[in-house]
Each structure stands twice: as structure tokens, then as C-alpha cells.
A and B are shown apart, each in its own frame.
Chain A
């Protein structure tokens, strides 16, 4: 090794396996064999069948922690909104896409469990980068990242989701990946 390459002092390099010389009868024979090997490989793919997911009809299942479109939550027992309008999510948002306007709760007709509630809660999904910081920042788990990923729309203004839209259940449920899938 070091006789061939005297400038290489150690054995820290890997000898490259070079292909055999092309051409000649030997080459033609080898090409024939390799061609058959290639044909076998493609035929194996044919037998395996397609791996395509027929997207609009079949959807890729998402992982439980997939960060899709946001959801706002209510308390299941009382039906009150969890959001208290603290704007911590808006402060945490790196894309600055959340707008919260808080208002005082009327004790006779409460909207949220806290002292205040979000009179306006808007997320501009055209700007959202789906980082999930809002979810992390929220002290009451009022906002979480859902599983919806089909968010295309015709107008940018349609991508501004209001509180009612975020509170509602998504129309189309996204398939969820099970354990070990």
C-alpha cells in the first residue's frame, strides 16, 4: 500500500474498488449478466405493487404530536372557554400572527372561566409557521395544535381564522396514526 502511494504515511484511507475494464467479450458477457440483474430488480418492484397514497381519497395519517391547524378549547363540563385573553400566545408567536383583544367577563353571562376572556381571537394562518410556541406559552392549555393540514384557500383574507372557527371541530377529521404505525 505505502509502496504504491509513498506520500500516504498511514492506513487511514480506504482503497476504492474500481469497476472492471469496459469493452471486449468479457465486458459484453458482464453487461448481459448485469442487465438480467437489473430486470430482476424492476420485476421485484412490479410484484411488490405500488406504494402510492392516492392523496385526495387516501390521506397520510399524522402522528399524535403533528402540528397542524390550531384549536381553541372549552371546559368539557361547564362549556366555558379556557382562554382568558392573556395574550401570552401572541407574545410568544415569532411570526406575529395571533391577535387577541381581551374583555371583562360579565358574571351573569360568563364566557371564560377566568376574570377576562378573549373578545377577539384571530390567527392569520397565512403567516403562521406552525412552530407550536403558542401552545407552549398558554398557561391554561386553551390553544393546542390540531391535526388539520389541508389549509389551502383562494383568498389570503380567508386564512384569518376567527375564534368561532378555531373553537369549532374541524369539518374533515385528519386520520391519526396509531401506536407503532
Chain B
């Protein structure tokens, strides 16, 4: 059995890459503020109330008002914060979140232009590499704040993210074995007969649970457990620095949903002409985001030991078993 090598014959002009990156940036940065208000509205509906509906039509100008408020705040820095690291931490987080957007495929190659930032042959590893980089932002931010709450929150998030990263990787490994490639476009192409969610339902569920933990969303929002840790690593941040952390969280959520849609829900594939491909991808991502909101509206925050035991005692064995069974089946067929 020969492993397929990475496709390196396909290269795009530099200006196309620049245009594509600007476009992805613009679209995502338009979607993310809307997501914050959509989340609040959806969460409100789940709680039998309306959510924000005062600012602009349907409350859709709420993120603008929030942004103006955040930008207008005093850039306060605690006395015993380590200045440079403290300032750079939110940048690292948002950088690592945004970079991962590059590999999300919104469509196939069309007229010599791929509807994705870049099709790396190491797609999954890229995702995990930059996901891992965002820990540095959290941990540095927590430590450099010079506050106990921040430090404890950062320690928690480090432990949480590291333990769930493993299950997340193993959950994706089944799909990688089935499609025989790490490239995200190849993985989508491999789903032409049937979406991977059908044979890999265990992997999908484990990935989503690990994804909730990875993005520190409810019920695994322990790093920012406001009842016990004030706001975790974000405690000493205010104004747009805090806004950057929040933005990174939403982008990460978008990325995790995008990866889940690519790996399990057939990526850009859907009925209709190929023009609709990016629409299908975005719809799938938004559907998964809705699941994020739904779970947030439903589940209470788990205790720290429960979080750890779920990660190591349930998710890890489950995903390992999934990988083993998939490996046996892939070899057998």
C-alpha cells in the first residue's frame, strides 16, 4: 500500500493568495461580531426571553455598541503585571485562532483558484499546532497579569486544553485513516460516497465534546468559571484586550465547527450547483455553532475533577477504541 504524497504541483499566484486571505479575514471578522449577538439572542430564546433587541433592527447593532464601549475604556494595567507579555498574550490567542481559518476549505478548486486559504498537506497538524499555540496566550496572559485568580485560571485552562487535545486528535484520527490523507480538501473528497459522520459517529461526538473543552465553552468553561475564579486568565484584562480574548474565543468556536463540518459533515458538499458550496459550508458551521449555543443553554458547568475524569477516563478510551476499530476495518476492507 503506497501512501499518497502531498500534491505540490498546484500553486497559486501571490496576489490570489493575498486577495483570498483578505477576503477570509473580512468575512470572518464580519461574522464573528454577529455571532456574539446571535449567541445572546439564541441563548435568550432557550431561556424563554428575547435577548438583546434594543440596538438597531433586531438588536443587530449590539456588537457595534459593545465594540465602541470596549474601545472607549481606559487601558488599565495592573502594577505587578509583566507588561510586554501581558500585552502580547491576547495577540497570540487571536493570531493562533485566525491562522487556523486559512485551512478551512469553503469549496473545491475552481478556475485555478481554491476556495480556501491554503491547502496544506498537513492540514490536521496545522490545526493542532496553532490550537496548541493558543495555550501560550492563555498561560502567558494568566501568569503575566500578576494575579492569583488569573494564574489559577491559566493553570486550569492549560491542564484542560492539554488533556482534551489528545482526545480531539484521536477523534480525528479515525477520519484521517478512512480518507488516507491529512489534507482537508482530500478529506472532503473522501466523503463523496458517504459523510464521515455515519461511520465515525463516535469520533464526531467525542470531537464535539473535546471541542467544547478546547474552546473553553460551557459546560467546560472552567478557565473562566466566574463563580470561583472571577474570570480566570481574563481577570486583569479590560477594554479591547479583553475583547480580543472574547473575539479569539468566538473565532476558535468557528474554527472548531469548521473542522467538524469538514471532517464529519462533508465540508462544502451539498445539493445544488457548485456555486452554493461556500454557502453549504457556512451553513454547516453555523449549525454546529448552534449546537454550541444549545449546549451552553442546557448544561451546567462541570466540576474540575469531573472535567479531568471525563477527559482521561471516558473520552480517551472511547477515542482510542474508535481508532483501533477503524484501523482494523480499514485494513480489513
Contacts and interface: CB of A to CB of B under 8 A. Distances in A.
B50 A54 contact: yes
A52 interface: yes
Nearest to A39: B298
B26 interface: no
B315 to A, nearest CB: 10
A33 interface: no
A39 B50 contact: no
Determine which residue in A41, A48, A50 has the highest number of CB atoms from chain B within 10 A of its CB, and name it.
Answer: A50
B298 A48 contact: no
A43 B48 CA distance: 10
A49 interface: yes
Determine which residue in B47, B48, B50 has the highest number of CB atoms from chain A within 10 A of its CB, and name it.
Answer: B48
Nearest to B315: A28
B298 A50 contact: no
A94 interface: no
A52 B45 CA distance: 10
Interface in A124-163: none
Given A38-B299, A45-B46, A46-B45, A23 B294 contact: no
Contacts of B42: 46
Determine which residue in A42, A43, A52 has the highest number of CB atoms from chain B within 10 A of its CB, and name it.
Answer: A42
Contact of B46 (A28, A46, A51, A54): A46
Interface residues of A, number: 16
Interface residues of B, number: 15
B297 A42 contact: yes
Interface in A38-65: 38-39, 41-43, 45-46, 48-52, 54
B299 A50 contact: no
Grouping DSSP codes into helix (H, G, I), strand (E, B) and loop, the B interface class, with mixed when no group exceeds half, is helix
A49 B48 contact: yes
Contacts of B314: 28
B44 interface: yes
A35 interface: yes
B49 A43 contact: no
B152 interface: no
Nearest to B54: A54
B299 A35 contact: yes
B45 A49 contact: yes
Nearest to A43: B294
Contacts of A50: 44-45, 48-50
A49 B48 CA distance: 6
16 contacts: A39-B294, A41-B298, A42-B297, A43-B46, A45-B46, A45-B47, A46-B45, A49-B45, A49-B48, A50-B45, A50-B49, A50-B50, A51-B48, A52-B49, A52-B50, A54-B50
Interface of B: 42, 44-50, 294-295, 297-299, 309, 314
Complex A-B, nearest 7 residue pairs according to Cβ-Cβ distance, in ascending order: A42-B298, A38-B298, A52-B49, A42-B46, A46-B45, A51-B48, A42-B297
Given A46-B45, A52-B50, 10 more contacts: A35-B299, A38-B298, A41-B298, A42-B46, A42-B298, A45-B46, A45-B47, A46-B42, A50-B50, A51-B48
